[in-house]
Amino acid sequence: MSFDGIDWRKTYASLCDAPVEALSKTDFDNDHPAIEFAQAWDAMPRVEGHDLPCRSNITPREFSKVMKWMFLFSQEDYARGARYKVALAGTAVVELTHGDYTGQYLDQFTSDACYHSRFDFMEDALRTKQPYFGQAKVSRCHESEYRIPVTLGAFPLVRQDGTPQVLVIPCPANKDLRRLL
């Protein structure tokens, strides 16, 4: 995707190559898609026995403004513990990550500190049954000292069958850059 002479894939490294650090919800501007979604998440009915909203409450029509930023992960049991599989990747997320990872596991496209920080981020959201907020600082491809903050929210959910899911909404902290993606 090219915008105003900037091609994200040529200008910035993949979001997958930047570890996530915790932030407070108050560090986000009110127009951030994660903050907009947080208000809706708070009001969603909870699934009995899980005390979390059901993913089926999220409809494209109702959440059209944030759909392009959605990165939905399903938690799956695995012999060595939980794994997170991408169930949905919005168009802007595909740009930020340099690819559509739908159907792939988190450990297939991230590694080391990047993998562990994301895994812990999603696990904490599910364990506490509360949204988590953070940022990853993405480097420019040719200027490693410059980083662009990508802020994100992680929202715990469940499917109708009780499968845990985490909806991650990553986007640049800069409003102007957000508008261009």
Return the domain boundaries, the chain: 2-180
119-157 burial, b at 16+ Cβ within 10 Å, e below that, comes to: bebbbbbbeeeebbbbbbebbeeeeeeebbbbbbbbbbb
The residue whose two tokens read 């739908």 is 102
Tell whether the model's pLDDT for residue 172 goes beyond 70: yes
> What mean pLDDT is reported for the chain?
84
What SS3 class is residue 138?
A: strand
| Cα–Cα distance for residue pair 62/54, rounded to 1 Å | 15
CATH top class, domain 2-180: alpha beta
Question: What is the DSSP code (8-state) at residue 45?
Answer: P
pTM listed for this prediction: 0.86
Tell whether the model's pLDDT for residue 6 goes beyond 60: no
What does the pLDDT look like over 67-79, one tens digit per residue? 999 999 999 987 6
